[in-house]
Amino acid sequence: MKHPERHAPRARVIRLAGLVAGFAACAAAMSGTRVEAWSNGSPMLRAAARYMPHAAGMIAAPALSARAPSDAAPRVAPVVRAERPLTGRRARALSVWNKPMRESWPAERAWTPAVEDDYSRFVTAIGRGIVARRCIHLDDCLNNPAINPLYDSDEMRLGLMPDCADLPYMLRGYFAFKRHLPFGFVAAMGGEGGDPRYLHRGIPVLWRQWTDFRSPRAFFDEMPSYVHSGMFRLSPKIEEADTYAPTISRAAVRPGAMYYDTDGHVLVVAEVFPDGNIQFIDGHPGGSISHPRFDAPRQTPPGAALWGGGFRVWRPQRLVENTIVRTRNGALRDFAPFHQYDRANYVVGGAPVAYDDWVRDALTARP
């Protein structure tokens, strides 16, 4: 008669040894190595097979492999982990939006008529997305490849919430960044009065350019703290401004142009229709963008020329010795300082008309 209790301590030791061997085999397999048992049929190997059968196959017995390859333990391939896309802080740190300007935004190109055409198409695409209600915030528009023609895989949500004056600067700056163009802006105004948005005889007194900022993201984070609607409240004679007063024609008033209401509001031209009507986009302090049209009658001119109301377009910029230089008025082909302010021009078919009727007629497409 056998006495199991006499063999219990030994059995417990073998069981424990088998568990240890099994765990060692699992760990070794995960690291791509092999574990050799003391000998084929050893108590450790038998115990591992009994108490951890899924691990027993990971223990290699040299003697057994030498005599019977068919019974050898299978080699376990090292675990190969698929690379996961970078997310969170690491992805943001590696993004072009957070890299130094010299790497992320080199001024490799120049503003040319062809580039301006491209900018107009970009603004129209964003405007159509807003009108179709496919996006109502600039971040959403820019991060949608079906809306943004400049979209690429490195887009990042920047939390952009432009108001009416920020929006034209955001669009122009974004385009310049994507196309590696120089870009600068008026950063402060001087003049008579307390509120910088409504200065009398306002003049630019401070300028900044993209290279003054650490990275593209810093540029878009900080620029809204500088620009405001007062940057448009300028006499047409001011040549250091970012914009100028053009002649009212389809060639000049096109997508990307702006309309400044002297009450302190700025609209961006998104599209000019064949009948001369205009689709605007309009930023609001909460970050939403609406899409009004040039339909409301305007019986009077858009403010005096001294206040700079009405349509304005971007003044071309170029880089000279790493500094932004703005084109002077005399070199602008469509510069017309008083065209839209002179009521004598508001004539259609030989009859005097309101300002808005005159504008629509001037912008009507003709064969």
In contact, 291 and 279? CB cutoff 8 Å: yes
Please identify, among 23, 42, 71, the residue that sits at the C-terminal boundary of a domain: 71
Predicted confidence pLDDT, tens digits, the chain (367 residues): 444 444 444 444 444 444 444 444 444 444 444 444 333 444 444 444 444 444 444 444 333 333 344 444 444 444 444 444 444 554 455 689 999 999 999 999 999 999 999 999 999 999 999 999 999 999 999 999 999 999 998 888 888 999 999 999 999 999 999 999 999 999 999 999 989 999 999 999 999 999 999 999 999 999 999 999 999 999 999 999 999 999 999 999 999 999 999 889 999 999 999 999 999 999 999 999 999 999 766 555 676 777 888 999 999 999 999 999 999 999 999 999 999 999 999 999 999 999 999 999 999 999 8
Domain co-membership, 49 together with 124: no
Strand (E) or helix (H) holding 19: helix 4-31
Cα separation, 291 vs 279, in Å, equals 7
Alpha carbon 63 to its chain centroid, in Å, reads 65
User: Looking at the structure, do residues 301 and 180 belong to the same domain, yes or no?
Assistant: yes
* Residue ending a domain, choose from 24, 50, 71: 71
In this structure, the answer to whether residues 61 and 135 fall within a common structural domain is no
Number of domains in the chain: 2
The whole domain housing 47 covers 4-71
Is 242 strand, coil or helix? coil
Give helix then strand counts, H and E, for the chain: 11, 14
Contact between 359 and 276 under an 8 Å Cβ cutoff? The reply is yes
Amino acid present at 170: M
* Position 77 in a domain: no
The C-alpha atoms of residue 276 and residue 268 are separated, in whole angstroms, by 16
Please give the Cα distance from 185 to 226 (Å, whole number).
9
CA-based nearest residue to 99, from 244, 219, 8:
219
